[in-house]
């Protein structure tokens, strides 16, 4: 593990479940976290849908029930107005700028003398 034997005894290392060590210069960090054995009784099987009777799920079919459960609705209209009022900016600040602005930027601008 890379731990000096003078700092810790074997009994102390055996009792630790996980720990983090750093050297004096903070150049090296050693972490020890062994895997935890989970009893079979505490596990659940992964639900696997029947490929014959299952309707192919699209992103909309998966996302809409999750959003309805949370009670969140995607409202795109007033969001930019609310943000501009909150942060005292124009509404144009919150729209995406796209590729045109990136293409016009000079890749190697001249250095000032």
For residue range 43-82, what is the model confidence (pLDDT) as tens digits? 998 887 766 666 665 556 666 766 666 655 555 566 777 7
Of 26, 27, 21, nearest in space to 7 by CA: 21
In a domain, 65, yes or no: no
In a domain, 59, yes or no: no
Spatial distance between the Cα atoms of 15 and 23, rounded to a whole number of angstroms = 22
In a domain, 44, yes or no: no
Q: In this structure, what DSSP letter does residue 89 have?
A: -
Spatial distance between the Cα atoms of 94 and 81, rounded to a whole number of angstroms = 9
Spatial distance between the Cα atoms of 88 and 42, rounded to a whole number of angstroms = 53
In a domain, 92, yes or no: yes
In a domain, 3, yes or no: yes
State the pTM of this model.
0.22
In a domain, 43, yes or no: no
Domain that holds residue 21: 1-35
Number of domains present in the structure of the chain:
2
In a domain, 41, yes or no: no
């Amino acid at each position: 593990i890379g731990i000096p034997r003078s700092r810790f005894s074997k009994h102390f290392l055996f009792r630790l479940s996980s720990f983090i060590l750093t050297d004096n210069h903070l150049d090296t960090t050693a972490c020890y976290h062994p895997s935890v054995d989970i009893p079979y009784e505490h596990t659940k099987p992964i639900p696997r849908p029947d490929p014959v009777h299952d309707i192919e799920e699209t992103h909309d079919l998966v996302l809409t029930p999750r959003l309805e459960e949370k009670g969140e609705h995607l409202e795109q209209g007033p969001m930019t107005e609310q943000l501009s009022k909150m942060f005292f900016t124009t509404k144009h600040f919150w729209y995406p700028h796209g590729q045109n602005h990136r293409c016009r930027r000079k890749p190697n601008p001249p250095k000032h003398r």
